[in-house]
Chains A and B, each alone.
Chain A
Amino acid sequence: DGGITQSPKYLFRKEGQNVTLSCEQNLNHDAMYWYRQDPGQGLRLIYYSQIVNDFQKGDIAEGYSVSREKKESFPLTVTSAQKNPTAFYLCASTSKRQAGNTIYFGEGSWLTVV
């Protein structure tokens, strides 16, 4: 089945550790996004990418890094510089070729600092 797969679903991070969240899509989508959602809040844009080997910072990029080496993959690393990383992380993708295409989301990853 086509879709967006995020892993792991649940992740615990110790203080000072870097962790990487995986996002893979087999929809042949060009654009991919990462969002952070805190409890009871909206979605805030971390990074986005429109093509391979290119990405842009969103509104809250500090303490995060990404790569886009393959069209299908857009991993997010939460670095130790991110002081309050506990949140729900959502990855999304869409095709830019058709204006009416929706933007699809993965199931999300819960990150907790212990």
Chain B
Amino acid sequence: ELKVEQNPLFLSMQEGKNYTIYCNYSTTSDRLYWYRQDPGKSLESLFVLLSNGAVKQEGRLMASLDTKARLSTLHITAAVHDLSATYFCAGLNTDKLIFGTGTRLQVFP
């Protein structure tokens, strides 16, 4: 059964700094998703990663996938306050979409 773990659970970072959120999964995942959630809101899709070595970038966020290591990363470059939110990764296995615990990101001046 697919299990998805994220770390760190909480990340407080200064504006302008770089950091990486890690997403490990326990068994084969057909694809890997990254989402953003603002407080009290639904989930906003960020990236869908399909194959080993896939890399996608949007603004200050870049996601990558290593299927051999069962690891996906979300890299934040030169953080700004607007990136403050909770970020989730999710894996898909036998039609079940399973989410990680989430990483709450807080960016301060």
Contact = CB atoms under 8 A, between A and B. Distances in A.
Interface of A: 31, 33, 35, 41-45, 48, 50, 56, 58, 90, 92, 99-108
A100 B48 contact: yes
Interface string B27-60: 0001101010000011101001010000000000
Interface of B: 30-31, 33, 35, 41-43, 45, 48, 50, 88, 90, 95-102
A56 to B, nearest CB: 8
A90 B96 contact: no
Given A42-B102, A108-B42, A102 B33 contact: yes
Given A48-B95, A107-B42, A42 B100 contact: yes
Contacts of A104: 45
B88 A42 contact: yes
B43 A90 contact: yes
A54 to B, nearest CB: 11
A72 B18 CA distance: 42
B96 A58 contact: yes
Contacts of A44: 99
A33 B97 contact: yes
Contact of B45 (A90, A102, A107): A102
Contacts of A48: 95-97
A56 B98 CA distance: 14
Contacts of B90: 43, 103
Contacts of B42: 90, 105-108
Given A35-B99, A48-B97, A90-B43, 16 more contacts: A33-B97, A41-B102, A42-B88, A43-B88, A45-B97, A50-B95, A56-B95, A56-B96, A58-B96, A92-B43, A92-B97, A100-B48, A100-B50, A102-B33, A106-B42, A108-B42
